[in-house]
Structure 1
């Protein structure tokens, strides 16, 4: 009887492990699809097509975050899609999406701020930098700088962390620092799972480096 009970418990345990593994694999596959879709919509579409694409993708990532509420990565990408959708939508109507993105990034940080090498801090810092300040929005460059620097501590050699800090420094007219961090972004290691995003981001790095170079030559 004890042996039968032990085998039964072991069977339940193994089924649980298998189910968890399948769930993790399913989440990672779905998240990767979101990442690839985001890159194509963000970089390869415009106008109404881009706005419609982000609207659909926002529904998909919202569903994923609902299914995996304790996954910081889901909330990070929920925020990225929401903020990108806000950018595509434009105008004051985009502010509600920006606020929703802010909450998503904060949720991700609450769960695990180090997830995806601190991407929540990177995106939240950029959001604070891009959104208008009071009385229109919540934008604040002091908060932007603080979050972007936090992301650099977690991912000092990353493409996005260095690019967005370089962009911030360019806007702050600190061209020497902008150049320093953009060059670091230029030499960032490739992300095997995100070749399209890396390709276009590196093009953005080169474009901004050219602008920085002109400023430094004056």
Structure 2
């Protein structure tokens, strides 16, 4: 299913991750940067899936080495959820359920990790995953989680973006514009320029749709 070029590119990506690890780079920073590459710079869907699959392996290895590091659990959940969204196959529901368990563990043990990112990510799952009997989707739980994320990180780009996106899905247009605009004005993260660039594009697109 995946062409030779895709495999070669993904292999190169893995080599870059291994080189960074060998150089003593923080695995969390490496994982964050590679997620942005997978999410926003993949040439096609097959490449994105392959990129995320290999990033998950690297994330799992890092978590095995530092099993108590909550940040790595959050990012393993993010990577699994991202793969579910990219792949969309029969395994997608299993991936988001695995992500949910990881995020619940972090919320139970260290809820303020990465400025409440576990709440943001879990909230996004609750409104994007189908509800019963297929999945665990629940709009009330989504809003509860996303508001908790905003309590911890009221000015963050992701906390405001996902709540704004949720409000847009709920048809609460004016509120959605308010939070998306705040996300658009969030302070840049110098260590994550590609992620910021990609998120800002998503924000601009969503605001454009809402203001038509």
Provide the alpha-carbon RMSD of the alignment: 1.3
Please name the residue that 1:175 is paired with.
173
Q: What is the deviation of 1:67? A: 1.5
1:115 aligns to what? 113
Give the C-alpha shift of residue 65 in structure 1: 1.4
Q: Does 1:39 align with 2:36?
A: yes
Which runs of structure 1 show a deviation greater than 4 angstroms over 4 or more consecutive aligned residues? none
Query: 1:125 is matched with which residue?
Result: 123
Per-residue deviation, 1:145: 0.6
Q: 2:96 and 2:59 mapped to 1: Cα distance?
A: 16
TM-score (norm 2): 0.86
> Are 2:146 and 1:141 aligned?
no
- State the alpha-carbon separation in 1 of the partners of residues 186 and 110 from structure 2: 23
Structure 2: 5+ residue runs without aligned partners? 1-22
Aligned counterparts, 1:37-116, within 5 A: 37-45=34-42, 46-116=44-114
Report SS of the residue matched to 1:156: coil
Q: Gapped runs of 5+ residues in structure 1?
A: 1-24
Note the alpha carbon deviations across 1:53-100, whole angstroms, 9 max, x for none. Answer: 111001111111121121110100010001001111103321111111
Distance 2:34 2:89 in 1: 24
- 1:134 to 1:92, Cα distance in 2 relative to 1, 3 A: farther
- 1:29 is displaced (CA, Å) by 1.3
> Quick check: 87-96 or 144-153, which moved more?
87-96
Contact 1:70 1:111 in 2 (8 A): no
Bigger CA radius of gyration: 1
Count matched residues: 189
Find the aligned partners of 2:152 and 2:90 in 1 and give their Cα distance: 33
1:184 is matched with 182
Specify the SS of the correspondent of 1:91.
Answer: coil
Q: Is residue 76–residue 104 contact of structure 1 (8 Å, CA) maintained in 2?
A: yes
Asked if 2 retains the 8 angstrom alpha-carbon contact of 1:186 and 1:202, the reply is yes
Higher share in helix:
1
